[in-house]
A and B are shown apart, each in its own frame.
Chain A
Amino acid sequence: MTVSIVVVSHSEKIADGAVELAAQMAPDVKIIPAGGTDDGRIGTSLEKVLAALERGSEQGSGDGAVADGTVVITDLGSAVMTAESALEFLEDPAGVLLADAPLVEGLVAAAVAAQGGADVQAVRKAAEAAGRIVQQAEPASSGEEELEPVTSAPPDCTGDFELVNQAGMHARPAAKVAGGLASLDAEVTINGVDGASMTGLMTLGAGKGAVLHVEAWGADAERAVEYVGGLVEAGFGEP
């Protein structure tokens, strides 16, 4: 059972399109759009959001597993308010987390993390890490501070791996790396960016022959470095 994701947008088309995009990289994750009003106008609807949350919390295919929570990703301000209102209406809002993340980047990062088996906190974290990359890309932003190393302590484990696949670190490899790391109990940086952030990894622009320097802190530090190394050396399963 994985974490499900609900997308709240003012536009039905945006919600549906974003879900379609994310589903390409996370085919096993339940991603539910809640866009537009009940009658198809621009706006948000509590009923639509509540219905989506209901679907998100439904059990899987009879395997008895308990739903591992839902992450909600929104677009503009009043979508945030509608999502918050929905939480106020839920009888049991535990396990439903709102992510403060840009809709498309955050959704894709969250979906990938969920596909990799991350728990609900880690899925939200992956979405919000995507947001920090977007902020950093804006010149006047002070978002860089948030990207400072998580700790000044030396890493518990490091590794250097040369990319061998033709296409290098493009979207699907970045999704695999970020998704796997998000589910581990480790803080990981790869060439200085958050390893659990798919968009962060893509901004590295690392092509074939580039070396990824992996630093990891935490209980799963060694596993994290081995995970990245294994993927890179296998060329992410690509030529």
Chain B
Amino acid sequence: MVLDANWAVKWLTLCAQAMAEHRVELIELDRAIGDSDHGENMDRGFQAVLVKLGESTPETPGAALKMTAMTLMSKVGGAAGPLYGTAFLRAATALGDSAEIDPAAWAGALEAARDGIVARGKAESGDKTMVDAWTPAVDAARAAADGGSTDVLSVLVAAAEAAEAGAVATDPMVARKGRASYLGERSAGHRDPGAVSSALILRAAVGAAA
């Protein structure tokens, strides 16, 4: 399996599919602790990405991710727009003009994306945000890549599984960032919608390579 521009297009297409499928679930999660627009916004943003992909075919994974960044920042509307937009933009910058992504490059792209989210949202691990999905994903991808894995699929899987576990781990947390932080202790007992959508995005990356 090679992660090239075709893979990136398939990944983004599966992201759009996942957001459409999980739109209601994300809305429900966000209704509990936010303003219930996360599913709607993510679906709209990725549908706009699909439209862009229909208009032109990116030549590199980096180009695909940069186009996605711009589209999400312009179409999502809420906080997820600049956060995911920054994540995709930083990942695109990390990948540069490479035609293919190897395990180390994937770990590097995830790390750049996570750092972008942290810089933009000023959130840390444990704040009950998407960072709580991204940081375990970065660590898992890095460990897999550093462990000498040449099989990029196993690195994608490690990142996705860690993000999913990270999302589950937000359940008992008390939110310290974003709209949910206004709820204080009452935010505990609900899963963070941003962490869930992050896990969906990283799971779609596996699906595109499988």
A-to-B contact residues, CB < 8 Å: 37-38, 41-48, 77-78, 81-82, 84-85, 88-89
**A41, A47, A82, A88: the one within 8 Å of B89 (CB):** A88
For B78, the chain A residues whose CB sits under 8 A away are: 43, 78
Inter-chain CA distance A72–B82, complex, in Å, is 16
Inter-chain CA distance A46–B74, complex, in Å, is 5
Q: Is B20 an interface residue (CB 8 A)?
A: no
Residue-by-residue, is B81-109 near A (CB-CB < 8 Å gives 1, otherwise 0)?
11101100100000000000000000000
Q: Is B52 an interface residue (CB 8 A)?
A: no
Task: With both chains docked as a complex, state the minimum distance between the C-beta of A14 and any C-beta of chain B, in angstroms.
Answer: 15
* Most chain A C-beta atoms within 10 Å of own C-beta, residue among B41, B78, B86, B121: B78
Task: With both chains docked as a complex, state the minimum distance between the C-beta of B129 and any C-beta of chain A, in angstroms.
Answer: 12
For B82, the chain A residues whose CB sits under 8 A away are: 44, 46, 78, 81-82, 84-85
| 3 nearest A-B pairs in the assembled complex, by CB-CB distance | A43-B77, A46-B73, A81-B82
- CB pair B74 A38 closer than 8 Å: yes
Task: With both chains docked as a complex, state the minimum distance between the C-beta of B46 and any C-beta of chain A, in angstroms.
Answer: 15
Task: With both chains docked as a complex, state the minimum distance between the C-beta of A133 and any C-beta of chain B, in angstroms.
Answer: 25
Inter-chain CA distance A21–B169, complex, in Å, is 47
Q: List 14 A-B contacts (CB under 8 A).
A: A38-B74, A45-B74, A45-B77, A46-B74, A46-B85, A47-B74, A48-B74, A77-B178, A81-B86, A82-B81, A84-B82, A85-B73, A85-B82, A88-B86
- CB pair B77 A44 closer than 8 Å: yes
B-to-A contact residues, CB < 8 Å: 41, 70, 73-79, 81-83, 85-86, 89, 120-121, 178
Given contacts A46-B73, A84-B120, could you give 6 more A-B pairs where the C-beta distance is less than 8 Å? A43-B41, A43-B76, A44-B81, A46-B74, A81-B86, A81-B121
Binding site of A, secondary structure by majority: helix, strand, loop or mixed? helix
Binding site of B, secondary structure by majority: helix, strand, loop or mixed? helix
Task: With both chains docked as a complex, state the minimum distance between the C-beta of A34 and any C-beta of chain B, in angstroms.
Answer: 12
- CB pair A85 B76 closer than 8 Å: no
Task: With both chains docked as a complex, state the minimum distance between the C-beta of B131 and any C-beta of chain A, in angstroms.
Answer: 14
- CB pair A85 B77 closer than 8 Å: no
Inter-chain CA distance A45–B73, complex, in Å, is 6
Task: With both chains docked as a complex, state the minimum distance between the C-beta of A5 and any C-beta of chain B, in angstroms.
Answer: 21
For A46, the chain B residues whose CB sits under 8 A away are: 70, 73-74, 81-82, 85
- CB pair B75 A38 closer than 8 Å: yes
**B76, B77, B83: the one within 8 Å of A42 (CB):** B77
* Most chain B C-beta atoms within 10 Å of own C-beta, residue among A47, A84, A88: A88
Inter-chain CA distance A72–B9, complex, in Å, is 35
For A81, the chain B residues whose CB sits under 8 A away are: 79, 81-83, 86, 120-121
**A37, A38, A45, A85: the one within 8 Å of B86 (CB):** A85
For A48, the chain B residues whose CB sits under 8 A away are: 74
Inter-chain CA distance A84–B81, complex, in Å, is 12
Closest B residue, CB atoms, query A48: B74
Inter-chain CA distance A181–B158, complex, in Å, is 59
Inter-chain CA distance A47–B120, complex, in Å, is 18
Closest B residue, CB atoms, query A43: B77
Task: With both chains docked as a complex, state the minimum distance between the C-beta of A179 and any C-beta of chain B, in angstroms.
Answer: 32
- CB pair B120 A85 closer than 8 Å: yes
Inter-chain CA distance A158–B10, complex, in Å, is 70
Task: With both chains docked as a complex, state the minimum distance between the C-beta of B148 and any C-beta of chain A, in angstroms.
Answer: 34
Inter-chain CA distance A45–B45, complex, in Å, is 11
